[in-house]
Chain A
């Protein structure tokens, strides 16, 4: 059973080893977060255009009912996470730090809340296009964190074809264990989701890649793969950013995605394992995306947990359910510590892209004492796309953004490995984000001017 491990763990070139810090929650089963009084559902929880509300203030909504429809192709549907009344549609604090137009639902305390276990759809009779439409209507976005609309990813443009469907279960962000728990607890949903995605894509083969620190989940999935499912479980080295699409395809297929292209250009489509499991649930229970698994963890939270949380639950209430925060909490991170963003207050909702919330205390705050660059090459050795962060950093500090373009700055994935590795605490990736944004703005303006 374990002989699939003997091949050694695949990986990509370079990257960093931040340590996985997953002990706090890796063995904790997923628990259901109790219902609360109020839910805040931002119309923008995904990449792409904000959804358009189709309910109005005062309207009664049922758990799972469509409350906002996608505005265009690259957008997503939104559903009520509870039965209740829409009490406001107004800007509310969002994990991104901005105020975002949100539908606020007050839960009806007398409602039994609709359940989803009776309406399984016979997906085998559905055409690929119908399956895709169901996923679009289900409000699916990438649950790994980037929240890119799933139906867009699963749509094969004319002239392209897909050979491989790759399930991203790397979960390379330290601290997070939501994907790990989903793999351990919902293998049937994952396998069903894989079948459906493969049918939509017309893929010949599936690969599920996960870091070896999830050995128990890997072994269990390996032992349960249905005989007729052409899916391979691929153990990967525990290394950041193993879960980046480019790194995953390199590790599993030994093929690089050409600069500026997408996985589909090498006949691959990648989806996060949590998303795949949720797709399975959509066809098992007719359940759209109204809840997700979130890892509440870090040294700053009293009782770390893996929770199934209805979308829109306010962080304040989740924290309370976890026994509160420690007194010296200094930083709250939505997503993992490598790419997640710090929030200003706990008045923000859990969204579809929230894979975890990490609480850092004074002890985890990193030093910001900056030294000059000593050209130690640690950033060069860390960059998974082989850029030269030290030169790029010097150019960014000097404001020479056009020169950064010549050094392929647009290939930067903003994974932060360079900043992690830098012994001089130089804010490398931070300056690249600025540089990329300015360059993108400039390109857009040039295009507009003709």
Chain B
């Protein structure tokens, strides 16, 4: 008789696991956002640093308190709250009063994520959901832009940042117009190179297309992002706006459409949120096309200069439907499996 000094473990197969885990995926998303974040701080100075710190910290704290209140082990170690906070901060105007930013962060985590069941169960991207709530609550503050590359951006903080809660505060700098706003309301285009490099005004982290794409490439190389989503969105937007531009040269060119506003940040980091995007190949394509169409339509014919946020939220909303209606063909069925 053989006696083992330790009990043997009985589990069912498979007994091997791929090396990557969910918390690692989330951590790499944060890493991929580092260049964008650093550039945001470089471009907008202390204002950006403050707003990003506030949103990230508030998001983590909200999730931690929620877990404590529910006597659950804290879930902040899976990095997902940090991503939501950071992403929300990157979509906000740099001089937004910080109390509003914190409120948006609480809304993102508590209302859009945790109320639906937490990580994996939210229908909408939490960061964009929180931003939508802010947009509805503070329509003026969230569209009041702050110029980039001010000389004193590392020594002074916009007075609006420290507005008392429930006040909007006063804006000291002359509001800087974004390329999209200039296009929509003044019919003035912006230099494409400036937009690609991030030399324009806009939300904290949306201005540098190059660095956002760099972060995306990092995740794609690690097989942690579905490259089809941004690519199909870009193609859809380029084709649609190209057609419109061909017939009406006063409308933005495809290049302007792709490089302006939240297009890059939204397509690369928001639309690709795994939780709120479809899980079938055909569903992914349809989802991306829908986002591309929506953003083009809102930007060209809607009342708002920017439409990326609503486009992605719309895509999120139809994801469950796409999962159900656009199933993959199962092996041995359909054309290829045609039994005779």
| Interface residues, chain A, with chain B CB atoms under 8 Å away | 16, 18, 97, 174, 246, 250, 256-261, 265, 316, 319, 327-333, 335, 337-347, 358, 360, 364-367, 369, 371-378, 380, 384-388, 390-391, 407-408, 411, 416-417, 419-425, 427, 429-430, 433
Given A342-B15, A419-B14, A388 and B337 contact (CB-CB distance below 8 Å): no
Q: Is the interface of A mostly helix, strand, loop or mixed?
A: loop
Query: Measured between C-beta atoms, what is the minimum distance from A359 to chain B in Å?
Result: 10
Query: Measured between C-beta atoms, what is the minimum distance from A348 to chain B in Å?
Result: 10
Given A331-B15, A333-B15, A337-B14, A342 and B9 contact (CB-CB distance below 8 Å): yes
Given A256-B336, A387-B330, A338 and B15 contact (CB-CB distance below 8 Å): yes
Please state if B17 and A256 are interface contacts (CB–CB under 8 Å). Answer: no
Please state if A411 and B331 are interface contacts (CB–CB under 8 Å). Answer: yes
Q: Is the interface of B mostly helix, strand, loop or mixed?
A: loop
Given A372-B120, A374-B120, A425 and B17 contact (CB-CB distance below 8 Å): yes
Given A331-B9, A421-B18, A259 and B330 contact (CB-CB distance below 8 Å): yes
Kindly list chain A residues whose C-beta atoms are within 8 Å of the C-beta of B207: none
Top 9 A-B pairs ranked by shortest CB distance?
A: A372-B120, A416-B14, A258-B339, A385-B331, A259-B332, A371-B22, A366-B17, A337-B15, A316-B2
In the bound complex, how far is the Cα of B11 from the Cα of A433, in angstroms?
A: 13
Flag whether B119 is at the interface (Cβ < 8 A): yes
Flag whether B5 is at the interface (Cβ < 8 A): yes
Kindly list chain B residues whose C-beta atoms are within 8 Å of the C-beta of A319: 2
Kindly list chain A residues whose C-beta atoms are within 8 Å of the C-beta of B38: none
In the bound complex, how far is the Cα of B21 from the Cα of A390, in angstroms?
A: 16
In the bound complex, how far is the Cα of B319 from the Cα of A390, in angstroms?
A: 14
Flag whether B10 is at the interface (Cβ < 8 A): yes
Q: 24 A-B Cβ contacts within 8 A?
A: A246-B332, A256-B336, A257-B332, A258-B333, A260-B332, A328-B6, A331-B8, A331-B9, A338-B15, A340-B15, A342-B15, A344-B8, A347-B1, A371-B119, A372-B118, A374-B274, A377-B274, A377-B279, A385-B331, A385-B332, A386-B329, A388-B280, A390-B279, A420-B18
Please state if B274 and A375 are interface contacts (CB–CB under 8 Å). Answer: yes
In the bound complex, how far is the Cα of B21 from the Cα of A372, in angstroms?
A: 11
Please state if A259 and B331 are interface contacts (CB–CB under 8 Å). Answer: yes
Q: Count of chain B residues with Cβ under 8 Å from any Cβ of A?
A: 48
Q: Which of B14-41 contact A (CB under 8 A)?
A: 14-18, 20-25
* Residue in chain B with minimal CB distance to A373: B120
Please state if B25 and A374 are interface contacts (CB–CB under 8 Å). Answer: yes
Encode B299-340 as 1/0 by CB contact (under 8 A) with A.
000000000000000000000000100011111110011110
In the bound complex, how far is the Cα of B333 from the Cα of A259, in angstroms?
A: 6
Kindly list chain A residues whose C-beta atoms are within 8 Å of the C-beta of B274: 374-377
Kindly list chain B residues whose C-beta atoms are within 8 Å of the C-beta of A388: 279-280, 323, 327-328
Flag whether B277 is at the interface (Cβ < 8 A): yes
* Residue in chain B with minimal CB distance to A368: B11
Please state if B339 and A371 are interface contacts (CB–CB under 8 Å). Answer: no
Please state if A366 and B4 are interface contacts (CB–CB under 8 Å). Answer: no
Kindly list chain A residues whose C-beta atoms are within 8 Å of the C-beta of B119: 371-372, 374
In the bound complex, how far is the Cα of B16 from the Cα of A347, in angstroms?
A: 25
Query: Measured between C-beta atoms, what is the minimum distance from B23 to chain A in Å?
Result: 7
Kindly list chain A residues whose C-beta atoms are within 8 Å of the C-beta of B328: 380, 386, 388
Please state if A332 and B8 are interface contacts (CB–CB under 8 Å). Answer: yes
Please state if B24 and A423 are interface contacts (CB–CB under 8 Å). Answer: yes
Given A343-B8, A344-B8, A429 and B14 contact (CB-CB distance below 8 Å): yes
Kindly list chain B residues whose C-beta atoms are within 8 Å of the C-beta of A347: 1-2
Given A342-B8, A346-B4, A366 and B15 contact (CB-CB distance below 8 Å): yes
Please state if B11 and A331 are interface contacts (CB–CB under 8 Å). Answer: yes
* Residue in chain B with minimal CB distance to A265: B339
Please state if A430 and B2 are interface contacts (CB–CB under 8 Å). Answer: no
Query: Measured between C-beta atoms, what is the minimum distance from B195 to chain A in Å?
Result: 31
Please state if A420 and B16 are interface contacts (CB–CB under 8 Å). Answer: yes
Residue from B14, B17, B23, B119 having most chain A Cβ neighbours under 10 A? B14
